[in-house]
Chains A and B, each alone.
Chain A
Amino acid sequence: MNGPKTSPEVGGMGHSLKRKEDARFIRGQGNYTDDVVLPGMLHMDIVRSPYAYAKIKSINTDAAMAIPGVHAVITGDVLKEYNLHWMPTLMSDTQMVLPTDTVMYQSQEVAAVIADDRYIAADGVEAVEVEYEPMQAVVDPFKAMESNAPILRSDKEGKTDNHIWHWEAGDSQATETAFQAADVVVKENVYLPRIHVASIETCGCVASFDPAEGKLTVWMTTQAPHAIRTVVALVAGHVGLSEEKIRIISPDIGGGFGGKVPVYPGYVIAIAASVVIGKPVKWVEDRSENLQADSFARDYHMSVELAANNSGKMEALRIKTIADHGYTDAAANPSKYPAGMFSICTGSYDIKTAFTEMDAYYTNKPPGGVAYRCSFRVTEAVHAIERIVDVLANKLGRDPADLRMQNFIQPDEFPYQSALGWEYDSGDYPRALKLAMEKIGYEDLRKEQKEKRSKGELMGIGISSFTEVVGAGPSKDFDILGIKMFDSCEVRIHPTGKAIARFGTKSQGQGHETTYAQILAEELGIPAANIQVEEGDTDTAPYGLGTYASRSTPTAGAAAAKAAHKVRDKARKIASHLLEVSEEDLEWEVGKFFVKGSPEQSKTIQDIAFAAYTNHPEGMEAGLEATHYYDPPNMTFPFGSYICVVDIDRKTGDIKVRRFVAIDDCGNIINPMILEGQIHGGLTQGLAPAMYEELMYDEQGNILNGNFMDYLLPTAVETPKWETDQTVTPCPHHPLGAKGVAESPTVGAPPAIANAVVDAISHLGVVNMDIPITPFKVWQVLQEKGAAT
């Protein structure tokens, strides 16, 4: 893109506009769910299971009910009266809201106390007496698949094992043949551990049922308010909640990252409590509850094989995965494939033959998983391919950059049909890797590494050249309860030429109030400053499927452009009326129509907006507004190349990320400042699992690090100074040429870091290490190799 088309005053695409939403946040005037206070509001707190797997013998609520200020204690038996004790998951599985007889994971909701304030509610939780009969938990999916393992989901009729589903893609036979014939085969087991999104705001809601109107309003930490409204109507229709009487409001959201897509039991209990008691009920979980009970991410055990010929040409890929879904398959995955977009695993490479298969199992761990800042299992797929490419380079004695260059899908091969069924829309992979290599000084770094090695110092360089698949999505691949995954924009131009626009998505920090205004400014010429963007209220916004999977720009962003074009179509008619020329004689340039050949004869969008209410042609409706629902024809395929340099202390195993260069390509850019901010944040959420984070359990299913004291989020000290840049390969099918971006860095960073650490110690015979790669793990390897001196 050659610079912005609009002036800074208009502030269309390509301008680093400062964010509109900042004004309230920097003053502490944001309105998050826990900030919502209603008259007569009660507070809810939750009794949680200390066991991962146990029978509930009895629940005694008498002592809790005796506490002054406690209004109710809700148990599974109470919900059962309303047939609300179970709920469906997005994956057509079932999940307890509250148990009636068995708990299936530690910290599972067992009962809820409703009280005057949060302190009394907590007192009530302490006073609820639950008698459990603990059972031996199944924590490891490999144990869950053993023939003598207890059948965890005995609630499901006819269930005789812990297997959830099998899924496969590609040509098994052709892949086997290619592997048989290959010169070189590499194989590694790669585990992506269970992690948590840990947005700084936890989850919660304020449910307010108005018995007189029969109307339910819920302020809720949700990334998908409309989908929630429909789900509530479908699962609670039998107790009288009808969709026109349900209003879901997503107020300001303190980070989502996929963790605020699922419906957690707490929301349902709070809604039920408000309906039953007839008063507003607030539930906000604390951090420990959030880490211990809300959906996890990843937890994929992958066995990855890559076949190539002696010259390094990749010929076939095969990945077999065991997925641990915990107690129920509650994956936040609206695709038609149980493993989401995992079949993007051939990555940026022209691999003609591939096969992937996966089996999912139940265990006694919290259900999930969420697509944590990643478009449904892309992180897992990218880690597998980017790790195994380095293993192949090591085996062949090839430079990993050189091997990638040799195997990249070439720019002239797009649109590219991947072996596993995707049509990659556009890309220029060599350009991104070349730029990353130039920026970081790749050749010099390799020389330095050689010198350091001769002195016994450990330094590694890691590359990741990933391809993402985002923007869910085309209805052939996606739906939620049959609802297609379009998204929407409704724009109204006021008589004074200012506008309001509403969307079916919901920002959780992405800056939509600014970027959507910029898209409309680009297409209408109305200054972004004069365009008010609203999201998150189902009573006012057009229907949409929400914000996750980097879908907002690919879907709602496109809807904004299309809605603006509809406005322009009407504006052209009004301009032709005002200028007394035919429509065909008019030409559009940012913000105005002018008469071809006499540009002094023109009408601005503001003139036209005024006329739309005051002087529109006879027979035309008044007003200037449009709504568009955009169902994308394809996914968008952002990509990039990242290079990481690490230094390792051979005595302690300490890993220092010396430099990290990230080149991203997300097509045309809406706001470079916001883009860079998104990349910084995503990279840090890639660093986190690569080096620090993993939810850990003992053999009884006790979580070992279920709070911020033990679950280490990187702080500013651990976070390196990210170096970012972009290439621009416009998306051919998006009206603005844009692609989603904010998940690329989360997906692309972990293998770059892992590859750098392995590269630093590859001369010792190390070919693979699972993340998180901690100093202790490195120290252990160095000890083992006799190199920790």
Chain B
Amino acid sequence: MSKYSVTIEINGSNFTREVDSRLLLVHFLREDLQMTGTHIGCDTSHCGACTVLMNGRSVKSCTLFTVQANGKSLKTIEGMENGGALHPLQEGFHEEHGLQCGFCTPGMIMRGAELLEKNPDPTEEEIRWGISGNLCRCTGAVNIVKAIQYAAEKMQKEAA
């Protein structure tokens, strides 16, 4: 198996590692770096539990090889807190009861982050379509929508 050297910025720190060409990004995060907040829920890129931000875009880290992230900047759930303060999305999920088992939550939050970046004031319909690449089996979506609305409102207030 060929080894490649990759350097990836993750949550503001650079990581340089030798990796197999076939190593999936999600396994690199979870197993090489022990960042286990990013989860694996399927094998067909449908559930979104593995969603992270790569250069600001939400991507499914189970569908990328680690080498594809070489030189890129990643953000994972572990990087969402800012100096001990929760990100408004994290706060929103807690306040609006947007999670139950918590397994899809990191992916939902990371997807929500790009959604709000692109569309700071989304309608309910836009939120529902925006998270349709992420599956949640517990909550029935209503409170996830509310959580993202909570964050949108808070982020807009902070920006104003």
Taking Cβ atoms with an 8 Å cutoff, the residues of A that contact B are 18-19, 21-32, 34-35, 37, 117-119, 197-202, 252-255, 257, 286-288, 508-511, 673-674, 676-678, 680-685, 707-709, 713, 715-717, 719, 721-722
Known: A37-B34, A287-B47, A709-B44. A674 touches B97 (CB 8 A): yes
> How many Å lie between the Cα of A200 and that of B108 in the bound state?
12
Known: A255-B137, A719-B140. A201 touches B95 (CB 8 A): no
- B-side contacts of A27, CB under 8 Å: 37, 77-78, 80-81, 90
- Across chains A and B, which 8 residue pairs bring their CB atoms closest together, nearest first? A28-B37, A254-B103, A25-B102, A509-B101, A28-B77, A680-B140, A509-B100, A684-B140
> How many Å lie between the Cα of A536 and that of B114 in the bound state?
36
Q: Is the interface of A mostly helix, strand, loop or mixed?
A: loop
> How many Å lie between the Cα of A22 and that of B138 in the bound state?
14
Taking Cβ atoms with an 8 Å cutoff, the residues of B that contact A are 20, 22-23, 27, 30-31, 34-44, 46-47, 49, 76-78, 80-81, 86, 90-91, 93-95, 97, 99-106, 109, 124, 127-129, 131-145
Contact yes or no, B46 A200, CB < 8 A:
no
Looking at the complex, which one of B22, B99, B131, B143 makes contact with A26 (CB distance below 8 Å)? Answer: B99
- A-side contacts of B101, CB under 8 Å: 199-201, 252-255, 508-509
Contact yes or no, A26 B93, CB < 8 A:
yes
- B-side contacts of A21, CB under 8 Å: 102
> How many Å lie between the Cα of A22 and that of B94 in the bound state?
6
- B-side contacts of A721, CB under 8 Å: 124, 142
Looking at the complex, which one of B80, B94, B137 makes contact with A199 (CB distance below 8 Å)? Answer: B137
**What are some 7 contacts across the A-B interface (CB < 8 A)?**
A27-B80, A199-B101, A200-B135, A200-B136, A681-B139, A708-B135, A716-B128
- A-side contacts of B39, CB under 8 Å: 32, 34, 200-201, 254
CB distance from A504 to the nearest CB of B (A): 20
Contact yes or no, A709 B37, CB < 8 A:
no
Looking at the complex, which one of A197, A202, A684 makes contact with B41 (CB distance below 8 Å)? Answer: A202
Looking at the complex, which one of B49, B97, B128 makes contact with A673 (CB distance below 8 Å)? Answer: B97
The residue in chain B whose Cβ has the minimal distance to the Cβ of A717 is B132
> How many Å lie between the Cα of A715 and that of B31 in the bound state?
29
Contact yes or no, B93 A118, CB < 8 A:
no
The residue in chain B whose Cβ has the minimal distance to the Cβ of A253 is B101
Known: A26-B109, A717-B129. A254 touches B97 (CB 8 A): no
Contact yes or no, B36 A35, CB < 8 A:
yes
> How many Å lie between the Cα of A441 and that of B108 in the bound state?
35
Looking at the complex, which one of A35, A119, A678, A685 makes contact with B137 (CB distance below 8 Å)? Answer: A685
The residue in chain A whose Cβ has the minimal distance to the Cβ of B143 is A677
Besides A200-B103, A288-B43, A719-B142, 19 new A-B residue pairs in contact (Cβ under 8 A), listed by A number: A18-B97, A19-B97, A26-B90, A26-B99, A28-B106, A30-B103, A32-B36, A34-B40, A119-B22, A199-B101, A201-B41, A254-B101, A255-B137, A287-B41, A511-B100, A680-B143, A681-B100, A713-B137, A716-B141
CB distance from A514 to the nearest CB of B (A): 10
> How many Å lie between the Cα of A382 and that of B89 in the bound state?
39
Known: A200-B49, A201-B101. A722 touches B140 (CB 8 A): yes
Contact yes or no, A708 B103, CB < 8 A:
no
Contact yes or no, B47 A708, CB < 8 A:
yes
Contact yes or no, B102 A30, CB < 8 A:
yes
CB distance from B47 to the nearest CB of A (A): 6
> How many Å lie between the Cα of A681 and that of B139 in the bound state?
4
The residue in chain A whose Cβ has the minimal distance to the Cβ of B89 is A26
> How many Å lie between the Cα of A786 and that of B51 in the bound state?
47
Looking at the complex, which one of A31, A119, A252, A719 makes contact with B141 (CB distance below 8 Å)? Answer: A719
Contact yes or no, B105 A716, CB < 8 A:
no
Looking at the complex, which one of B23, B27, B78, B91 makes contact with A28 (CB distance below 8 Å)? Answer: B78
> How many Å lie between the Cα of A257 and that of B131 in the bound state?
23
- A-side contacts of B124, CB under 8 Å: 721
- B-side contacts of A201, CB under 8 Å: 39, 41, 101, 103
